[in-house]
Each structure stands twice: as C-alpha cells, then as structure tokens.
Amino acid sequence: MPEPILSLNALDAHYGDFQALYGVDMALDDGEVIAIIGANGAGKTTLLRSVSGLMSNAADQIRYRGQPIGMLRADEVAALGIALVPEGRQLFPSLSVEENLLIGGRLKRPGPWNLRSVFELFPVLEERRAYPSTALSGGQQQMVAIGRALMSNPDLILFDEISLGLAPVIIKSIYDALPGIVGEGMSAVIVEQDISKALSVSDRVYCLMEGRVTLEGASNSVSRDAISHAYFGID
C-alpha cells in the first residue's frame, strides 16, 4: 500500500487553555480528495491551520509524505507543496489582482499552474488583473484566492469554506472549476458547510464534532442518517 501524502496521528490542537482538536486521525492518499464537514466550532478550520503551519503542533502528529511537519512554520510548509485557500479569502488589499497571484507563485515550484493557466481557468480575472483586489466581488475574490494557492503548484491544496458568503450561482461556477483543478493529480482537503456539495466533489468524507472525528467513509456510500448523527450527535 502506498504511503499517504498526508497523515494526522492523534492530532491535538490548543488555543491557550482551550483544546480545539482531540486525537484526530486522518489519512489522505496521493491524488485523493477528502471533504471535512462539521458544525461551526467543530475544529475544521483549526485542522487546516495546523496542517498549513499557521498553528504549531507536535512534530510527528502531522506527516507529509512520511516526513514530520507538525512543528514547521507556514512558509516552510508552503515550500514543501501544501497550499491553503483560507476562509474569508484573505487577499492582500494593497496588492492588485495580478500581484496577489504573482505572490502566490513566488515559490516557483514546477507544474502546470502559472498566470496564463489561472487566467484560462477564471477568465474574468484577466480582465480585472490591474484592479485592487478589494474592488472585486466576493466570488471574484474567491477565484483570486484559489488562483493564488494554485500558483505555487502545490501537491496538496486545502480549501477552507470556499462557498461561504457567496451567491449560489457563484458557488456552482467555482465548484464546476474544481475537477479541472484536482484532476491534475493534486490531492485536496475541502472543508465545507454545504454537505451535499462536499460529498459530490470528494472521494471520502470525515465529519468532525467538538474536535473529534465522528464519521469517516466513502462519499458515495455514507447515509444521510449517519451524517446527521455524526454532525449533530443526535439520532
């Protein structure tokens, strides 16, 4: 059996005295897409912050291609080929659309993604390339945030609530673009509140509740009842 690209081994995470994750185990194979669902405060964002290096953890609780990375800083994690599309887009307001994308590409890892291929994926961004990133609509900003993460040609991409606060038609167009992104052999972790969206784009799904994994299974076979039980903790 090939080594997983990412594995979490009894991952704990703390904000001061508050513990947000309790012994989370998770594994992601090369090229696989997993979805993480769960209510607000379940620890989904904390999990992505831990993997991307924005939160420091015990070294061997997070392994990337077998290598312990839990203690690495975010810039070191990024250099290994892990990119995060953060919740709320978090573009750089003093940078133009094009500059936001270019700064995502400053690691210069080899791969299919560059300014041209991002503009092909999201043509509207090419028209607005010189705009300040704050002048775009929410959906366009989300496209910049995704493009910025792709520019580093990551092997593993983490999406945090990419549909949050966007109109349904925009969400659909962004999710329609996802297969073109992960189809290149990239592995992905998708954190999503919209359960049916999450199940439709992923191979496997994990459900978190209060910092613990309450459900794991293939996305096309988990039952609605099992999900609502794992999601809310009630039958």
Partner 1 sequence: MDWVNAIVQGTLLGGLYALFAAGLSLIFGVMRLVNIAHGDLIVLAAYLGLTVVVTTGLHPLLALIIVIPVMAAIGYALQRGILNQTLGDDILPPLLVTFGLSVILQNVFLEGYTADPQKMDAGAIETASISLGGLSLGILPLLTFAIAVGVIAGLQFIFYRTPLGRSFRAVSDNQDIAQLMGLNKRHIFGLAMALALAVTAIAGILLGIRTSFDPTAGGARLIYGFEAVIIGGLGNLWGTLVGGVILGVAQTIGAKIDPGWQLLAGHIAFLFVLAVRPNGLFPRVSG
Residues within the interface to partner 1 (CB under 8 A): 52-54, 73-75, 78-79, 83-84, 86, 90, 92-95, 99, 102-104, 106-107, 132, 134, 148, 152
- Sign of the CA dihedral with 200 first, then 202, 206, and 209 last: negative
Cross-strand bridge partners of residue 36: 191, 206
Smaller CB distance to partner 1: residue 73 or 172? Answer: 73
Sheet holding 33-38, edge to edge: 82-85, 156-160, 187-191, 33-38, 204-209, 212-218
Cross-strand bridge partners of residue 216: 206
Shortest Å distance, C-beta 147 to partner 1:
13
Shortest Å distance, C-beta 135 to partner 1:
11
Shortest Å distance, C-beta 234 to partner 1:
36
Smaller CB distance to partner 1: residue 94 or 137? Answer: 94
**Cα first-last separation, the chain:** 36
Shortest Å distance, C-beta 110 to partner 1:
15
- The C-alpha atoms of residue 89 and residue 160 are separated, in whole angstroms, by 9
Shortest Å distance, C-beta 4 to partner 1:
22
Smaller CB distance to partner 1: residue 27 or 95? Answer: 95
Smaller CB distance to partner 1: residue 10 or 130? Answer: 130
Smaller CB distance to partner 1: residue 86 or 211? Answer: 86
In terms of phi and psi (left: phi > 0; alpha: psi -120 to 50; beta: otherwise), the region of 209 is beta
Query: In one letter, which amino acid is 182?
Result: V
